[in-house]
Chain A
Amino acid sequence: MAGTPLPESVELLDKLVAALKRRGVLVEEDIARCQTQAERAQPETGARMVARAWLDPEFRALMLRDGTAAAEAFGVAMAGAPPLGVLEDTDRLHHLVVCTLCSCYPRAVIGYPPHWYKSAAYRARAVREPRAVLAEFGTVLPAGVQVRVVDSTADYRWMVLPTRPAGTEGWSEEQLAAIVTRDCLVGVTLPVAENARIAA
């Protein structure tokens, strides 16, 4: 849920941090460092991984075999982070990622999760009526495409490798990365070639 924290929550955070500092558990620099690291994680990383996978079969194979190593190849510090798994869409299969039990999300390669991903509506409905949820994102799958919902319940974090859309032949890695949005990386939308013009 988006929204403003209660005043008592703001006060609780101050008291918690003050107590942790007083007791020598942490210093302000620790908090700043972790916040900087979290802010550095952006969907552009996941998008660049997808674009590379579309162009480079070897990287694609690595990414599907070991998403963590593929992220590290893009300079993402994965030590201590949950392992990253990548699921490959095909012409017949579409992946949609949700976490029904909490809100597991591949933050290392996408960044902070959007509010809707953590909402009760998305968590309750994506596993039960995925096509209706996709439609609310304006996503209608071609006939014959099976939906595989990925309920992210445990130790991995999951990212989708979408299919490369028609009309992108000959594009550079940068051009391709530009049409892969955050929402494509969890499967609620599909990359489309027209987006490049809209974004321009």
Chain B
Amino acid sequence: MDSPDPDRPATHDLGGNPRFRCTPVEPDDDAPPSDFDKRVDAVRSVLREKGLFTVDEMRFNIEALHETEYFGLTYYEKWLRSVTAVMVRKGVITWEDIK
């Protein structure tokens, strides 16, 4: 859905995005985080504590996801992708570790 419109905001820059104008916010969409979710979150905390990445590296690598994944993956799946991307980029792990 790449548009040539130069004013089109980045995918993650969602404020006011008319695409969601008619999507109700669902206050009842309130399931507690799953074990997967909590584990991803905890791994992120450990790595941040150890100074291996900053919140902005994490945010940037989520923003870099393709639109399909940005809107298709669950929240903590996106975190996992981002954490993994930063760890590979920094040489903490290699792509062979995760292939």
**Hey, which bits of chain A sit against chain B, CB under 8 A?**
1-6, 9-10, 12-13, 15-20, 22-23, 25-26, 30-32, 34-35, 37-39, 80, 82, 100-103, 112, 114-116, 118-128, 133, 136-137, 151, 183, 188
Contact = CB atoms under 8 A, between A and B. Distances in A.
A13 B26 contact: no
Main secondary structure of the interface of A (DSSP, over half): helix
B4 interface: no
A125 to B, nearest CB: 6
Contacts of B24: 121, 136
Contacts of A13: 36, 39-40, 43, 80
27 contacts: A5-B76, A6-B73, A12-B84, A12-B98, A13-B39, A15-B97, A15-B98, A16-B97, A19-B94, A20-B93, A26-B46, A32-B42, A38-B42, A82-B55, A101-B13, A115-B30, A119-B29, A120-B17, A121-B23, A122-B25, A123-B14, A123-B15, A124-B17, A124-B20, A127-B15, A128-B15, A136-B27
B89 interface: no
A9 B42 contact: no
Nearest to B44: A34
A38 B38 contact: yes
B93 A125 contact: no
Interface residues of B, number: 54
A39 B38 CA distance: 8
Nearest to B24: A136
A16 B87 contact: yes
B29 A20 contact: no
A196 B36 CA distance: 34
B31 to A, nearest CB: 5
